[in-house]
Structure 1
Amino acid sequence: MMFSRRRMLQGIAASTGAAFGVPIAAERAVASPAADGAAKRIIFFMQNQGFDPKTCIPEGMKNSGSLAKVKLPEPISALEPYKERLHIINGLHGIHTSPSHSAFFGALGGYRGSDGVPPSASTIDYELSKVLPQTLLPHLCIGMDSIENMKAKPTIATLSASGAGQPIFMHSNPNHLYQMLYGGISSGNIRQQHEARSGVFSQVEKLAAMKGQSLPESDQQRYGQYVQGFKDVNGLRTRLDTVSDHLRKFAPAVDERYTKPKFETDWHDVLLDLGISALTSGITNTLTIGSGRGEIFGAWKGLGVDQQGHNLGHMDQPDNPIWIKIRQYNSRMLVRIMETLESVPEGNGSMMDNTLIVYTSNNADKQHTNGANWPVMLLGNLDGAFQSGCFTQLDGKRPINALYTSLLRAAGQNVDRFNMDEKMAKKFDDSTGPLKEVLA
């Protein structure tokens, strides 16, 4: 009986409190656009199935240089008007992550990852969420997949982690995510469902805390994590209610794409809207987007792509009309993020001035890769911390961990390595510290 109750709580926590991945400190507040320009935010956009460098490097460009007088490849042509904000990086590696179909947690963790293997340490997005200006929800993850997968598994954990064995869940059902973020300021069915779920979670938290005291000591710590999950979700709801007037300005309008999606891309689009609204409202300043949710599946029927799943990874990406559509869709999403943040004043400029977007794949350059080349695009400069408007060709001797070290440096952390001890570094990194080629 006690075992089945623990299993029940584990399942509920996985789709609610555990979706946060981390305790939400009571003192965290909504980070409204900063008057002093001190606010910073970082967005990770992870496309599955690999990121072939030929789909992002301008034709004929083999050496580092300016992007000003070159034309971007067709798959990322939507970024052409934003070249001055773009930095294309080729020649990082992730051999030590053993990606194959996907590096899973290793893509953002910079360590060995594999299907079904729990994270061995925290990931860079979580570490940044701890050091960037505090918000109500330190870190938000959204995951995009086929409509069937998103409905069957509204939360899934494959990319982000707050520590060893502590995955952070991605939200894939926009109705659930909207209710979590904006249910308290909604009306009609959304408000009724929000209040009903809130009442259940409050009761379950009390019941779980009481029943957990009777468990053997060996089980109390694990059980306590589930209880903490309910405390987190209940605490977040309460704190969001205290800033309801502020949130009303940013909540997206709910339409039939939420309740009657024609294609999975309808849900992809509204998930992106919710992620952007969480940034502009100040609910969070660290957003991770998993297109394909870090796995080997994914679908884009709304783009006219009938094929889906693993087979997409076995197609060459350059000059492939299917992958051109997918990458162009990604690029338009990146433009939507930039344009929205550009429209919100912050400090002496806009929110985009204090933002960095990191676009790459959880699977290096292609499916079944050894990770020897891991292309990355950066958009924005995080208040001048990063170079932009350029292409950088590296020699393949520095790991993705070095880029993550650079992000931490830009966020104010004086670190020389990220998730790589000296023994590992001797084998996989020929230098130390951040990438001097990317920092301004």
Structure 2
Amino acid sequence: MLQGIAAGTGAAVTSSLFPQRLLASPISSATPKRIVFFMQNQGFDPKTCIPEGMNTSGSLAKSKLPEPISALEPYKERLHIINGLHGLHTSPSHSAFFGALGGYRGSDGVPPSAPTIDYELSKVLPETLLPHLCIGMDSIENMKTKPTLATLSASGAGQPIFMHSNPNHLYQMLFGGISSGDIRLQHEARSTVMDKIEQLAAAKGRTLPMSDRQRYGQYVQGFKDVNGLRARLDTVSEHLQKFAPAVDERYTKPEFETDWHDCLLDLGISSLTSGITNTLTIGSGRGEIFGAWKGLGIEEQGHNLGHMEQPDNPIWIKIRQYNSRMLVRIMEKLESVPEGSGTMMDNTLIVYTSNNADKQHTNGANWPVMLLGDMGGAFKTGCFTQLDGKRPINALYTSLLRAAGQNCDRFNMDEKMAGKFDDSTGPLKEVLV
């Protein structure tokens, strides 16, 4: 677990930031922008998001959203549904794992071969104390036994970024310095342990063979970054007090795993509204084939869910509706925080899709995506776009980088690969304004 914390946080923390850069504010001339990735496992069947009768691109204004995403009906003017991207080159089966956000071949147990789009965007967007935060939702048993897990995000080849799945640990990391009582005591004890581990790790690493020293050095750097992040957050404690979520029995005595899911979402939202981070990745099912939603009255869990047809399935309707309500909570919270001449939501984009294209055991020929928001007017909204299946998910990721100010024509796809899997170059003209 300690290795996971060190490697995961080390990949996401920039050590040169100053406390005043917490907020994308007048200190920086860059427009404040942020992005949220919400990845649901087991696939995203297009019939669960495309309005009935819509076979071609058009406005959503006069359409009625399907039951699974009905919670988004009041937000149709901010919604863009995209069908017809592909991820054939990612070779998904149970999951594309790192390939889903990396746009490259992924498989169970295979390390990432390049940075994923969420990490790349965190480098381009205005700097924050924690440029990239990943949270993962699973069964309560899995979240307790594996509080950190890396399957979706990476900072480079062989450099996975770990998701936080225990809200108690994450709360201590983000808001422990402003807490009181037991949480404060645990935060201070944990901090002392981390300091000691950093010192011991640095000393012991010198005795290792050269072949192991570099990898070990990544862990040492990870502990330095964890401790550095804690120190920087402590300097803005007065500001953070306005945004820290309330701690209740859901944290320490969860009845269902959805209690922890909700706590994790609250912490993710708080990290955005407080300005701690500008890039949030949510893994519902943590990029694997597991996951449970007993709090929704669903007894089935894990791999079995992937072998069920999603359209008109009451189980998948409940899961997708739960996701949609989470998306609404994110939007409403960001909408409540003023920013510039508008709100934080005006400068935000939410990307909702699956780490497994359209279904379990898929070849990735169709990869539906929903976008919410326009990131400062960069993306078209209120519409449905039907593509011809000839452009990969990498083209969408190129579009995201362009909207964030990065001039690129392809993301993680060389000429040879593009010649086989992409019939064009540059961003998707159908999504950008």
Q: TM-score, normalised by structure 1?
A: 0.96
One-letter amino acid of the structure 2 residue matched with residue 13 of structure 1: Q
Task: Answer whether contact 1:19 1:155 (CA < 8 A) is retained.
Answer: no
CA deviation string 1:72-111 (max 9, x = no partner)? 0000000000000000000000000000110000000000
Task: Answer whether contact 1:86 1:379 (CA < 8 A) is retained.
Answer: yes
Q: TM-score, normalised by structure 2?
A: 0.98
Task: Answer whether contact 1:305 1:322 (CA < 8 A) is retained.
Answer: yes
Which runs of 5 or more residues in structure 1 are unaligned? 1-10
Task: Answer whether contact 1:144 1:291 (CA < 8 A) is retained.
Answer: yes
Count of matched residue positions in the alignment of Structure 1 and Structure 2: 430
The structure 1 residue matched to 2:392, chosen from 389, 399, 408, is 399
1:25 aligns with 15
In structure 1, how many angstroms separate the alpha carbons of the residues matched to 2:241 and 2:153?
A: 29
Q: Tell me, what secondary structure is at the counterpart of 2:213?
A: helix
Query: Are 2:382 and 1:389 equivalent residues in the alignment?
Result: yes
1:370 aligns with 363
Q: Tell me, what secondary structure is at the counterpart of 1:315?
A: coil
Query: Are 2:54 and 1:61 equivalent residues in the alignment?
Result: yes
1:74 aligns with 67
| Structure 2 CA distance for partners of 1:223 and 1:374, relative to 1, 3 Å | same
2:188 aligns with 195
The structure 2 residue matched to 1:163, chosen from 156, 174, 183, is 156
Task: Answer whether contact 2:10 2:223 (CA < 8 A) is retained.
Answer: no
Task: Answer whether contact 1:88 1:390 (CA < 8 A) is retained.
Answer: yes
Q: Tell me, what secondary structure is at the counterpart of 2:287?
A: coil
Q: Tell me, what secondary structure is at the counterpart of 1:34?
A: coil
Query: Are 2:326 and 1:336 equivalent residues in the alignment?
Result: no
One-letter amino acid of the structure 1 residue matched with residue 46 of structure 2: P
Q: How far apart are residue 33 of structure 1 and its match?
A: 5.7
Task: Answer whether contact 1:155 1:172 (CA < 8 A) is retained.
Answer: yes
One-letter amino acid of the structure 2 residue matched with residue 414 of structure 1: N
2:256 aligns with 263
Q: Tell me, what secondary structure is at the counterpart of 1:21?
A: helix
2:120 aligns with 127
In structure 1, how many angstroms separate the alpha carbons of the residues matched to 2:76 and 2:187?
A: 43
Identity among equivalent positions (%) equals: 83
The structure 1 residue matched to 2:275, chosen from 265, 273, 282, is 282
Q: Tell me, what secondary structure is at the counterpart of 2:385?
A: strand
One-letter amino acid of the structure 1 residue matched with residue 52 of structure 2: E
CA deviation string 1:334-374 (max 9, x = no partner)? 00000000000000000000000000000000000000000
Where do residues 230-241 of structure 1 align in structure 2 (5 Å cutoff)? 230-241=223-234
Q: How far apart are residue 38 of structure 1 and its match?
A: 1.3
Calculate the aligned-residue CA RMSD, in Å.
1.1
Q: How far apart are residue 28 of structure 1 and its match?
A: 4.8
Q: How far apart are residue 12 of structure 1 and its match?
A: 1.5
Task: Answer whether contact 2:24 2:126 (CA < 8 A) is retained.
Answer: no
In structure 1, how many angstroms separate the alpha carbons of the residues matched to 2:216 and 2:369?
A: 40
Q: Tell me, what secondary structure is at the counterpart of 2:12?
A: coil
1:253 aligns with 246
Moved over 6 A (4+): none
Where do residues 143-182 of structure 1 align in structure 2 (5 Å cutoff)? 143-182=136-175
In structure 1, how many angstroms separate the alpha carbons of the residues matched to 2:50 and 2:211?
A: 54
Q: How far apart are residue 307 of structure 1 and its match?
A: 0.4
1:3 aligns with none
2:45 aligns with 52
In structure 2, how many angstroms separate the alpha carbons of the residues matched to 1:31 and 1:413?
A: 22
Query: Are 2:206 and 1:213 equivalent residues in the alignment?
Result: yes
In structure 2, how many angstroms separate the alpha carbons of the residues matched to 1:267 and 1:20?
A: 24
In structure 2, how many angstroms separate the alpha carbons of the residues matched to 1:219 and 1:168?
A: 20
One-letter amino acid of the structure 2 residue matched with residue 212 of structure 1: G
Task: Answer whether contact 2:24 2:127 (CA < 8 A) is retained.
Answer: no
In structure 1, how many angstroms separate the alpha carbons of the residues matched to 2:193 and 2:118?
A: 31
One-letter amino acid of the structure 1 residue matched with residue 16 of structure 2: A
One-letter amino acid of the structure 2 residue matched with residue 381 of structure 1: D
In structure 1, how many angstroms separate the alpha carbons of the residues matched to 2:363 and 2:104?
A: 13
Q: How far apart are residue 19 of structure 1 and its match?
A: 3.8
In structure 1, how many angstroms separate the alpha carbons of the residues matched to 2:292 and 2:431?
A: 33
Task: Answer whether contact 2:119 2:132 (CA < 8 A) is retained.
Answer: yes
